Chain A
């Protein structure tokens, strides 16, 4: 009886020492989780999640104050990735957050008055132009966040969905029937 207690006690002390040592030896600086979450987010910086950018949203998720289903540009795929990363259940989009097809902003150049308001709104500097000069969107850099749309005083910015071309076309997941009566 006594020896059993002693043995258990010894094991407990040894394991405790190992854990304590590991905690000091393998201490992780900073909060890598935020960066990991940020890496999964699509970086549109659109603020549709209610946070001022992807990083703040990532921080909020890491702190447990935000849900994982608030990022429409990330799509369901993004929620799946976040759920995998955080070891939580997948949660579908709810309420007002709906994913939209990926788009880029397009400035109607004949209407643009060159007010620079959209340039100031763009989170990734994807709009070029100067005061009283026509502006234009660098489509390749545009994340489709729509932040430039509301500030435009003449409503000359529209969101154009990215069309499927032979370059960005993807092979589809195979779908086939198993019964011979309905060949695929």
Chain B
């Protein structure tokens, strides 16, 4: 107690991060409901790896370990990465990704608060470039695919790489709805008939549309608790809606509708949990809107024209690069100086 103010609001980085983790829970529950408990194994592996990598890096960097471990930021990175990659994957995939995210993308840039790129998205980018095969085998929703896997078999595959006799990886996994759409369109499939495939549900993929809804609910909770501002999610979703809607109107045969885009892939997770990472997003309201609309446009372009099934991760990273510039450009007018600009 040396300087004013001598009182502070009982708020902390740790509590903020905890709220974000909490807001992920509805999405995770729906994930488990539709895809089985493999995702929980992924999250657990990522959490353990994340926390131990964080501790190790703090020790190497001679920083106090306890206060930083308690800030929950490593845990959040781990969870986000686990939710971004296929749950049914060899254990080392998530471990390598998390380690890279925490050690390289976060700590080598100066640790909490100093990383220019979203660590989870860096982890994702490294994995999808290095292990494209493992990264495109997504667990089929329960009831789809040639065979449902029980928890024991899922665990066996994750830890030992062994599937029950008679099952192949292709039998229990499939491409994501976004990926399928892209491949089918490539093969000159008709939009109408593609969307009648069994993996598509009401608006987007079976199961995944519900998981997206779960993330949307969690995101709304974050907004209501004032953890995030409306700018990034709202502008991201509206821009994505607008651009996909425009493309859909022009050429409905080759472009899925806006709702499909909103509830597919990582749209919702990205809008509420990834793009809103305060460290790697602009600080000014106008900057956030520019950032979010840029991310939405890039996401759409990568989804439709790019080489990867989803575009949220790369769009996030590309927009992360622009953050300092956006911030410098969008400095708001200060009190009493509104006429000066």
Contact = CB atoms under 8 A, between A and B. Distances in A.
Binding partners A and B = yes
Contacts of B66: 179-180
B3 A179 contact: no
A170 to B, nearest CB: 14
A178 B64 contact: yes
Contacts, number: 10
B143 interface: no
B2 A184 contact: yes
B2 A179 contact: no
Nearest to B65: A179
B67 A174 contact: no
B10 to A, nearest CB: 15
Contact of B64 (A174, A179, A184): A179
Nearest to B68: A178
Contacts of B64: 178-179
Interface residues of A, number: 5
If over half of B's interface residues share one DSSP class (helix, strand or loop), that class is named, otherwise mixed; here it is: loop
A180 B67 contact: yes
Interface string B59-74: 0000110110000000
A124 B160 CA distance: 85
A178 B67 contact: yes
Contacts of A180: 66-67
Interface string A54-72: 0000000000000000000
Nearest to B3: A174
Contacts of B3: 174
Contacts of A178: 63-64, 67
Interface string A148-184: 0000000000000000000000000010001110001
A174 B2 CA distance: 10
10 contacts: A174-B3, A178-B63, A178-B64, A178-B67, A179-B64, A179-B66, A179-B67, A180-B66, A180-B67, A184-B2
Given A174-B3, A178-B63, A178-B67, 7 more contacts: A178-B64, A179-B64, A179-B66, A179-B67, A180-B66, A180-B67, A184-B2
